Chains A and B, each alone.
Chain A
Amino acid sequence: MKLMIMLRQVFVMVALALSAFAFAQGNLEINTPAISALQKSMQQRHAQLAPLYASGALGLTADGNVALRDASGVPMAQRGQVNALVAAENADRAALYREIARANGHPEWEAEVRNTFAQRWVERAQPGWWVQGAGGWTVR
């Protein structure tokens, strides 16, 4: 049940971020199969990431990525696995930004898409999550 709630949360976050982006850019088709596949991959991973966001081990960076900001609360033997999760999540995020830009027929928009998403991720972070801004890390 908890997993379903978390999955729903991340789905809503991705959907809201997508819709916000689409709104900001106008008539953009964003619901491609690749985006769906990436969303699915990210949703599946979110079950593992959510407690790490909540504990402050992970934070949302200003460039639309996830970062290992305080690993001290993670058992030492699992820090490598968390790092692997972060790398996989960031790879998916990079692919997502690239895919949305491509889907719009403008691969050169990738950086703009990334920036837009970075803002949306931060705005929609849950209370207790850490986000990176111009002044460094802050907790929401």
Chain B
Amino acid sequence: MLGIACTASLAAGAGGLMLEFGRLAHPAVVLDGLSVRLGGTGLPGAIRVGRLTAAGHVIDDLSFACPKLGISGGIVSCKDARLVIPGVIDDARVDLTVNPETRSGSITAQSAHWGRFEARLSPDGTAEVRLHELPIGALAKHFPVIGDFGPGGFFSGRLSYHRHESEQVIALEGAVAAGRFSSADGLQAAEHLQLSINLGARSSGPAWAWHTRMDWTAGEAYLHPLYFTAGPSLSARGRVESGRVFLEHAALTLEGVEALELSAEIDIETAQIARGVITVERGDLAQLGPRFITPVFAPAHAESIRFAGLFNFKALIAEGALEAFELSLEQAGFSLTDSALSFGPVSGVVPWRAAGETRVALQVDGGRWQKLELGPFALDALLDGPRFRAHEISIPILDGRLLLSDLDLGRQGTGWSGRGGVVIEPISMKVLTEAVGLPPMSGVLSASMPSLNVRPGEIALEGALVISVFDGYLQVTGLQVLEPFGSAPHLFGDIEARNLDLFQLTETFSFGSMTGFIDADVLGLELAHWTPVRFDAALRSSAGDYRRRISQRAVENIGALGGPGAALAIQRGFLSFFDSFGYRTIGLSCKLRGDVCVMGGIVVKPDEGAFTIVQGGGVPALNVIGYNRRVDWVELVDRIKRVVESNAAPVIE
């Protein structure tokens, strides 16, 4: 049957029969130095192999020693035999029964390192092997690929093989218990695994058709950067042919996914996916986002990103690389809790191809930034590899609109770069102030910033944001944001305010009552983590001829802003006789450096440390003078808040 080529010598003596084969060769296995000693019934027997070569593997000094050989009725049997294969089996205890005529028999082997093994050969060509607690770690020495992962645990199961003419059938049914593995760095690892495995394969030629089902019933795994727990089940079918595994269809059950299916063509030698398709149907983003999206795409924000809604996903892989994908969203939602930014529900399709342009069409039905509600808008954009382009994105904000135009962004290295333009169509201050919880104001906010420049960690805007308020205007220019999503976001800008009506301003903020107009400049403004840390601010009476009166309460409040050292150039008793006073000019400045504000006024007397905030004029008139030029910024802000919120009279020294 097997074209065996051998050379042999035979020796017989009183102790039995000795057969010595110089070489026993078969296309699949070569035995060198084979000797068989048969002692006859009831006597010891032994088989020795100097070298066994099979499938490129070499085993030296294989020995099988039978203490008591039985030969009866054409059946050879042996109990308590010892099998030694150096480096593979140290010492296995073997019971053996073989009927050479019918080519049937059974063998039972047990060793400390390999567990228990039972095999039965039937005359019809069927073979059945039962494995009891085969230590998976024992395989590691002989399979370097898995050996690097230090596998452990046990496998128990039944393997059957049947051959009928040219058809071969293999079936495996088994379970892994206490399974584990770990790469040297612990980034690919599993513990306490319990798996049940069913595998069937059939061949009637060079190709094998196969099917399998695996259920993961216990344990956990970390495949960097993803963490998995037991629950998933895999059923798959395919074939092995011409050096390739064809995964015709695989279905994976996973919590949070209605259906997850795969197909692939894998080159066995290179282990590369020559072609593959993965589809996910109705994935639950709330469940899958934190487990699979955040760890891969935004691990630094794992604690702050929230997901909602459903998605479908299909990806194509060619020659080991992602060739294309299509992501469709159904009422999906995304939010960043640490920056109070959210979008959703979002529906639509995001197609992408490694080579070529694709069109993104999303409908965003709302969102929020800080306290501002965003209205519904359509996102129509082009993707071209790592590049994102959008002609116009129009986002409703309150009763106005944010227009992003000619956006052209690209992902390079550590972040996004690109350019575009920003326009804010008028938002009424009445609505805006109500939305952000400020006292109601009239006027509008608008912006025209034609040049938006994005670099890694930086967004810069050229142009102006203008707020027309209190019958004057406030203009912000030179806006720049650094590390907007980092631990220390920075905002830079310059603010210019002109002709603000003091009456409206002081009424709005319950600051007493003043008439007149002021101009103000806040230059070199820098906010770190949205808190001012640096600016040169100055406000002063606007030029012009207009009525200038200041109420007693406003005088007291201004005096309070000068700090504990502030004093009025009049006595408390005198002040109480009048409701309001005339003034010539008002001036106050603050140069903030870190947490200290160096204050100044219309006139500063450095030798006295005094500065004039209000210069009186008319009848009755008064001056307000501050004496404490260095003020703690936090304290000053607290003082302003107290004045505004409670409208309580501050202490006047």
CB <8 Å contact, A79 and B227: yes
CB <8 Å contact, B187 and A68: yes
CB <8 Å contact, B185 and A70: yes
Contacting B at CB under 8 A, from A6-56, are 32-38, 41
Interface residue tally on B, bucketed by range: 35 or more
Interface-central residue, A76, A81, A99, by most chain B CB under 10 Å: A76
Contacting A at CB under 8 A, from B214-244, are 220-222, 224-227
CB distance from A97 to the nearest CB of B (A): 10
CB <8 Å contact, A83 and B534: no
B365 within 8 A of A: no
A95's contact among B222, B226, B483, by CB below 8 Å, is which?
Answer: B483
CB <8 Å contact, A84 and B299: yes
B302 within 8 A of A: yes
B526 within 8 A of A: yes
CB-CB under 8 A for A91 and B300, given A33-B533, A76-B227: yes
CB <8 Å contact, A76 and B189: yes
* Alpha-carbon distance A79/B295, docked complex (angstroms): 11
CB <8 Å contact, B488 and A38: yes
Scoring B residues 291 to 305 as 1 if CB is less than 8 Å from chain A, else 0, what string do you get? 000110001111100
CB-CB under 8 A for A80 and B457, given A37-B488, A68-B187: no
B186 within 8 A of A: yes
CB distance from B222 to the nearest CB of A (A): 5
CB <8 Å contact, B187 and A71: yes
B185's contact among A69, A77, A87, A92, by CB below 8 Å, is which?
Answer: A69
Residues of B within 8 A of A76 (CB): 189-191, 220-222, 227
* Alpha-carbon distance A37/B483, docked complex (angstroms): 12
Residues of B within 8 A of A90 (CB): 300
A74 within 8 A of B: yes
B29 within 8 A of A: no
Specify the chain B residue showing the minimal Cβ separation from A94: B414
Residues of B within 8 A of A94 (CB): 414, 457
A102 within 8 A of B: yes
CB distance from B487 to the nearest CB of A (A): 4
* Alpha-carbon distance A61/B170, docked complex (angstroms): 50
A73 within 8 A of B: yes
* Alpha-carbon distance A41/B488, docked complex (angstroms): 9
CB <8 Å contact, A74 and B186: yes
Specify the chain B residue showing the minimal Cβ separation from A80: B227
Interface-central residue, B187, B488, B529, by most chain A CB under 10 Å: B488
Specify the chain A residue showing the minimal Cβ separation from B191: A76
Interface residues in A, total, Cβ within 8 A: 34
B349 within 8 A of A: no
* Alpha-carbon distance A74/B301, docked complex (angstroms): 21
Residues of A within 8 A of B222 (CB): 71, 76, 79-80
* Alpha-carbon distance A92/B187, docked complex (angstroms): 23
CB-CB under 8 A for A34 and B482, given A41-B488, A76-B227: yes
CB-CB under 8 A for A95 and B225, given A37-B529, A76-B220, A77-B220: no
CB <8 Å contact, A41 and B487: yes
Determine the main DSSP class of B at the interface with A: mixed
CB distance from B397 to the nearest CB of A (A): 28
Residues of B within 8 A of A34 (CB): 482-483, 488, 490, 528
CB <8 Å contact, B528 and A37: yes
CB <8 Å contact, B528 and A79: no
CB distance from B241 to the nearest CB of A (A): 38
B486 within 8 A of A: yes
A88 within 8 A of B: yes
CB <8 Å contact, B189 and A95: no
CB <8 Å contact, B300 and A87: yes
B347 within 8 A of A: no
B182 within 8 A of A: yes
Specify the chain B residue showing the minimal Cβ separation from A57: B186
CB <8 Å contact, A83 and B186: no
Scoring B residues 510 to 552 as 1 if CB is less than 8 Å from chain A, else 0, what string do you get? 0000000000000000101100011000000000000000000
CB distance from B116 to the nearest CB of A (A): 31
* Alpha-carbon distance A113/B138, docked complex (angstroms): 50
What is A's interface to B at a CB cutoff of 8 Å?
32-38, 41, 57, 68-74, 76-77, 79-81, 83-84, 86-88, 90-92, 94-95, 98-99, 102
CB <8 Å contact, A71 and B185: yes
B594 within 8 A of A: yes
CB distance from B466 to the nearest CB of A (A): 28
CB <8 Å contact, A80 and B528: no
Contacting A at CB under 8 A, from B137-183, are 182
Residues of A within 8 A of B482 (CB): 34, 99, 102
Specify the chain A residue showing the minimal Cβ separation from B299: A87
CB-CB under 8 A for A83 and B483, given A71-B185, A72-B189, A91-B300: no
CB <8 Å contact, B300 and A33: no
CB <8 Å contact, A88 and B300: yes
* Alpha-carbon distance A57/B186, docked complex (angstroms): 9
CB <8 Å contact, B295 and A72: no
5 contacts between A and B (CB under 8 A): A73-B186, A76-B189, A79-B187, A83-B224, A95-B486
Specify the chain A residue showing the minimal Cβ separation from B414: A94
Residues of A within 8 A of B221 (CB): 76
* Alpha-carbon distance A69/B185, docked complex (angstroms): 6
CB distance from A44 to the nearest CB of B (A): 9
7 A-B pairs with least C-beta separation: A72-B186, A71-B186, A37-B488, A87-B299, A41-B487, A84-B302, A33-B528
B182's contact among A69, A72, A80, A88, by CB below 8 Å, is which?
Answer: A72
CB distance from A82 to the nearest CB of B (A): 10
Q: A33-B533, A74-B186 are in contact. List 13 more A-B contacts (CB 8 A).
A: A33-B528, A34-B482, A34-B490, A41-B487, A72-B186, A76-B222, A76-B227, A81-B302, A83-B224, A87-B300, A88-B299, A91-B487, A94-B457
* Alpha-carbon distance A87/B301, docked complex (angstroms): 8
Specify the chain A residue showing the minimal Cβ separation from B531: A33
Residues of B within 8 A of A91 (CB): 300, 486-487
CB-CB under 8 A for A83 and B526, given A72-B182, A76-B220: no
CB distance from A60 to the nearest CB of B (A): 16
Residues of A within 8 A of B294 (CB): 84
Residues of A within 8 A of B534 (CB): 33
* Alpha-carbon distance A99/B457, docked complex (angstroms): 10
Residues of A within 8 A of B185 (CB): 68-72
CB <8 Å contact, B487 and A84: no
* Alpha-carbon distance A92/B489, docked complex (angstroms): 11
Residues of B within 8 A of A81 (CB): 302
Residues of B within 8 A of A98 (CB): 457, 483
Residues of B within 8 A of A95 (CB): 457, 483, 486-488
Specify the chain B residue showing the minimal Cβ separation from A84: B302
* Alpha-carbon distance A80/B221, docked complex (angstroms): 11
CB distance from B173 to the nearest CB of A (A): 29
CB <8 Å contact, A37 and B414: no
Scoring B residues 332 to 363 as 1 if CB is less than 8 Å from chain A, else 0, what string do you get? 00000000000000000000000000000000
* Alpha-carbon distance A92/B486, docked complex (angstroms): 7
Residues of B within 8 A of A57 (CB): 186
A84's contact among B300, B414, B483, by CB below 8 Å, is which?
Answer: B300
CB <8 Å contact, B186 and A79: yes
Scoring B residues 453 to 478 as 1 if CB is less than 8 Å from chain A, else 0, what string do you get? 00001000000000000000000000
